[in-house]
């Protein structure tokens, strides 16, 4: 839950934003995409499966070995949405290695490129934000040898965050979650084991593709329980009741943030620059 307080004259303006997945609201589809690999349909993936490195084995997606190219073996999944919750589980079957997870999206100039990278090492996690600009001399353009995108003419801007030490050395199942809402993303590994929030305007763009780059050696890495679903924003009944009866507190609903007051008895409409409460 995110809360903000503002002083408006003698009154205190309270705005609240609760995030709920679509499955928690009646009449909404639970998932945009769900794959447990029990009754696997390979046509749903952008990558042809099975291939020399990846196949379904024992109800999970198993990737091992080397690709023979510049990068480790990769699995692509097409998606389509702005505010999305993405989750998956992975497990290493031998020591060392990494899972490098990419979220690709609209670059803001007519093409699709990397947006966020989550590098899951055995000793830590490193994040990288990839935004874009038409300016070839932009100070955040770190790889000057990389040409502009052939479609959009945009240059990739790299913001590489320092690696954070996290002990992921055990070969056990790990759960990774990302929740994109507006210009922010919350990333977690195994719930409270590691958690981070990032903010950048590029996160507002439509997400188009997920990529798992996997360096797992000959024994490989397993993926399972891939879930992609829309994030629905709403004001909860309990929160509204808690603040709505106080005459000195106004509850603000903002259409430009697409908050959904699904719990209110009478849906309120926003007028520019004004706050509202239930009549």
Name every residue whose Cβ is closer than 8 Å to that of residue 256 and which is 6 or more positions away in sequence.
none
Residues 121, 242, single domain; the answer is no
Amino acid 261: pLDDT? 34
Cβ–Cβ under 8 Å, residues 165 and 124: yes
Per-residue pLDDT tens for 119-142? 999 999 999 999 999 999 999 998
Per-residue pLDDT tens for 173-199? 999 999 999 999 999 999 989 999 999
Amino acid 263: pLDDT? 32
**Length, in residues, of the chain:** 279
Residues 203, 257, single domain; the answer is no
Name every residue whose Cβ is closer than 8 Å to that of residue 217 and which is 6 or more positions away in sequence.
64, 65, 93, 94, 96, 97
Residue 39 lies in a domain: yes
Beta carbons within 10 angstroms of residue 162's beta carbon:
8
Residues 41, 112, single domain; the answer is yes
pLDDT category of residue 277 using cuts at 50, 70 and 90: very low
Predicted model pTM: 0.77
Residues 162, 188, single domain; the answer is yes
Give the domain extent around 51.
31-129+158-231
Residues 162, 268, single domain; the answer is no
Q: Find, among 231, 248, 250, the residue nearest to 240 by Cα.
A: 250
Residues 54, 177, single domain; the answer is yes
Cβ–Cβ under 8 Å, residues 41 and 48: no
Indicate the burial class of 198 (C-beta count within 10 angstroms; 0-12, 13-18, 19 or more). middle
Give the C-alpha separation, 46 to 212, whole Å: 12
Residues 170, 190, single domain; the answer is yes
Residue 136 lies in a domain: no
Beta carbons within 10 angstroms of residue 29's beta carbon:
10
Domain count, the chain: 2
Residue 146 lies in a domain: no
Residue 46 lies in a domain: yes
Residue 25 lies in a domain: no
- What is the domain-level CATH number for residue 68? 2.60.120.560
Give the C-alpha separation, 81 to 229, whole Å: 9
pLDDT category of residue 250 using cuts at 50, 70 and 90: very low
Higher pLDDT, 4 or 56: 56
Residue 177 lies in a domain: yes
Amino acid 135: pLDDT? 97
Q: Find, among 34, 50, 62, 106, the residue nearest to 212 by Cα.
A: 62
Residues 185, 272, single domain; the answer is no
Residues 195, 274, single domain; the answer is no
Per DSSP, 1 falls in state: -
Residue 195 lies in a domain: yes
Average pLDDT, the chain: 81
Residue 202 lies in a domain: yes
Sign of the torsion formed by the C-alpha atoms of 251, 254, 257 and 263: positive
């Amino acid at each position: 839950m995110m809360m903000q307080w503002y002083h408006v004259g003698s009154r205190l303006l309270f705005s609240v934003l609760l995030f709920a997945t679509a499955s928690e609201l009646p009449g909404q589809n639970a998932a945009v995409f769900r794959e447990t690999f029990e009754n696997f349909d390979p046509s749903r993936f952008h990558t042809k499966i099975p291939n020399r490195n990846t196949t379904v084995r024992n109800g999970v997606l198993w990737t091992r070995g080397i690709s023979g190219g510049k990068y480790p073996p990769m699995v692509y999944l097409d998606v389509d949405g702005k505010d999305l919750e993405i989750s998956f589980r992975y497990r290493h079957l031998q020591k060392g290695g990494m899972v490098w997870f990419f979220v690709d999206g609209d670059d803001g100039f007519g093409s699709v490129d990397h947006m966020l990278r989550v590098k899951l090492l055995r000793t830590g996690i490193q994040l990288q934000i990839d935004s874009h600009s038409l300016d070839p001399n932009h100070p955040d353009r770190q790889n000057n040898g990389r040409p502009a995108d052939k479609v959009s003419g945009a240059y990739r801007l790299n913001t590489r965050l320092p690696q954070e030490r996290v002990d992921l050395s055990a070969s056990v199942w790990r759960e990774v979650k990302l929740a994109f809402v507006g210009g922010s993303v919350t990333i977690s590994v195994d719930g409270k084991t590691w958690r981070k929030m990032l903010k950048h305007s590029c996160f507002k763009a439509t997400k188009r593709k997920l990529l798992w780059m996997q360096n797992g050696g000959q024994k490989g890495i397993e993926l399972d329980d891939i879930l992609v679903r829309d994030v629905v924003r709403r004001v909860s009944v309990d929160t509204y009741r808690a603040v709505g009866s106080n005459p000195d507190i106004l509850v603000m609903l903002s259409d430009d943030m697409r908050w959904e007051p699904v719990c209110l008895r009478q849906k309120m409409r926003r007028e520019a620059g004004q706050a509202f409460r239930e009549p």
